[in-house]
Amino acid sequence: MTSPAGRSVVVARFPAQSTALHLHLGSEDPPGGLSEVPPDASNAVATTNAEASLLVAGFNGGFKADAGAGGVEADGTTVRPLIPGVASALIDARGLLTIGAWGAVSLPTGDRLVSVRQNLSLLVDGGRPTATALSGPGPWGSVLGPDPVVARSALGVDAEGNAYFAGSMHVLPADLAQVLSSIGVVRAMQLDMNPYWVTLGTTPTPGGTLTSQIPGETNPATIFVSGWTRDFFTVMARPPRSCHLRFPGPPEVPGPAAATVVCGPQHLATPALPAMTWP
């Protein structure tokens, strides 16, 4: 897609009905995080549970912990304290995404919170770019050189709960906000920035090899499978209607130690291919 300024942005849409999100921690960042969370949130897609066979996409997380841009909660464990008012991506036990300012956003009644990734303030709110998003690059992180038009990424959600990742090697925060709001995203937040970190990989077949989608990506998308130093999100295909994904919960709540597929009388045989589109 193209922003009003003429800059190209790659957008991936992940339907709520057919996909589920999950948060992983990196081997180096947040520092010490892997020692605090279950193996399900490790720095690589687990090959011993349902995640690997259902994997359809992976993309980068937010700023490093020492940037002070927000907190992290993974698999029910608070790794970095959550900060009121900061833009937050909330993932529930079904893998559904909610985005909003922490303290002003909550999950639907009865849903259990599994993970939270915070980063800066909202890019889009109420279906429109925020004033901060349009104000310039200043509040949105440090660039590597004099040009503020650099690699950036964002995560958004529409009114139906569908998730959107947007990324480019050459954009301003306003470009991401304008593109996402133009396609119906109601709330969005910036994720990581600068060339080495912005990464999106997808595969048309669940469990297939992730292929890079943003022209000029520094790292191959397979880093999310082989193991990565930074936190990242994975996207899984939902199993057939008779089955459901079950994610780990807080340590004090009984549950699986890894993402599992729970079915009725029949066990999952073949994952359902999600209806994924890239505008």
How many CB atoms sit inside 10 A of residue 75's CB? 27
Q: How far apart are the C-alpha atoms of 167 and 155, rounded to whole Å?
A: 9
Q: How would residue 120 be classed by pLDDT, with cut points 50, 70 and 90?
A: very high
pLDDT at 59 over 80: yes
pLDDT for position 268: 31
- Spell out a b/e string for 108-145, using b for 16 or more CB atoms within 10 Å of the CB, else e: eeeeebbbbbbbbbbbbbeeebbebbeeebeebbeeee
pLDDT at 250 over 70: no
Containing structural domain, residue 31:
10-263
**Could you tell me the two tokens for 191?**
């994720």
Q: How far apart are the C-alpha atoms of 66 and 229, rounded to whole Å?
A: 14
Task: Give the distance, in angstroms, between the CA of residue 210 and the centroid of all CA atoms in the same chain.
Answer: 15
Q: How would residue 269 be classed by pLDDT, with cut points 50, 70 and 90?
A: very low
Where would I find the beta strands (DSSP E) of 84-162? 87-92, 97-101, 113-118, 122-125, 128-129, 150-158
pLDDT for position 241: 60
pLDDT, tens digit, for every residue of 180-207?
Answer: 999 999 999 999 999 999 999 999 999 9
pLDDT, tens digit, for every residue of 133-173?
Answer: 999 999 999 998 899 999 999 999 999 999 999 999 999 99
Number of domains in the chain: 1
**Could you tell me the two tokens for 235?**
């996207």
Instruction: Tell me whether residue 130 is in a domain.
Output: yes
Instruction: Tell me whether residue 33 is in a domain.
Output: yes
pLDDT for position 108: 74
What is the dihedral sign for C-alpha 225, 272, 74, 195?
positive
Instruction: Tell me whether residue 273 is in a domain.
Output: no
Q: Would you report the helix, strand and coil content of the chain in percent, each value rounded to 5?
A: 15, 35, 50
pLDDT for position 38: 84
pLDDT for position 103: 94
Environment class of residue 32 by beta-carbon count within 10 Å: exposed (0-12), middle (13-18) or buried (19+)? exposed
pLDDT for position 39: 83
pLDDT for position 267: 33
- 134 pairs with which residues across the strands? none
Instruction: Tell me whether residue 37 is in a domain.
Output: yes
Instruction: Tell me whether residue 2 is in a domain.
Output: no
Instruction: Tell me whether residue 268 is in a domain.
Output: no
pLDDT at 246 over 80: no
Instruction: Tell me whether residue 218 is in a domain.
Output: yes
What's the rounded mean pLDDT across residues 223-234?
97
Environment class of residue 78 by beta-carbon count within 10 Å: exposed (0-12), middle (13-18) or buried (19+)? middle
